[in-house]
Amino acid sequence: MIKFNPVILGKLIGLALLLVVSQVNAQTVPQDSIYQLNGIWLDQDGNERSLSSFSGKKQVLSMIYTHCLHTCPTIVSTMQSIENKLSDDEKQNVGFILVSLTPDTDTPEVMRDFAQKRKLNLENWSLLTGSAEDVRSLAMALDVKYQNVKDNEVNHSNLITGLDSQGRIKFQEIGVMDNAVMAVEKLKTF
């Protein structure tokens, strides 16, 4: 005689639901999305984040490092200019992400201090740090070239990337102030 065991049945149902949910999530993220990358990042508050946690809003993203004295301040200023050129309604649908190229020194605390010094609105901005491997994977997906040089400095591409709500690259601009208006116009097309 076969006995009915509610514990085993409950576990089987839970496993089936987990499989269905993971399949639905895998199907909702397009194959050409950076949200396919599996890295775990820490934000400026020390919270673990996956890139896919940013889905649902357009994102303006760049890779920088906080102690940079050269192009990174210009990139951040350009992104702030993009934000300032958006209407209040448009700002509701666009987030801003800065990803550290120097994860060994850009801890969540350092990233938070950087955000405060730069007067970044953390309701709309996220600063991420992760493993060197995850940084390299994201840089490759975005076609951002970088190389560590002496004294913890980094030579890197000066790119700002626009992502649609599903994490697909829709545009890339050189991170200079002259391109802020063009980036805003491109954000309005998708």
Element spanning 180, H or E: helix 180-187
Report DSSP letters for 97-114, one per residue.
EEEES-TTT--HHHHHHH
Q: Which amino acid is at 123?
A: E
126 near 96, Cβ under 8 Å? yes
Q: How far apart are CA 166 and CA 149, in angstroms?
A: 34
Q: Summarize the annotated binding site as residue ranges.
A: 68, 72, 156
Sign of CA dihedral 145, 50, 103, 121: positive
What does the radius of gyration of the chain's CA atoms come to, in whole angstroms? Answer: 19
Nearest by Cα to 124 from 97, 84, 157:
97
**What is the Cα–Cα distance from 62 to 144, expressed in whole angstroms?**
9
Binding residues for Cu cation: 68, 72, 156
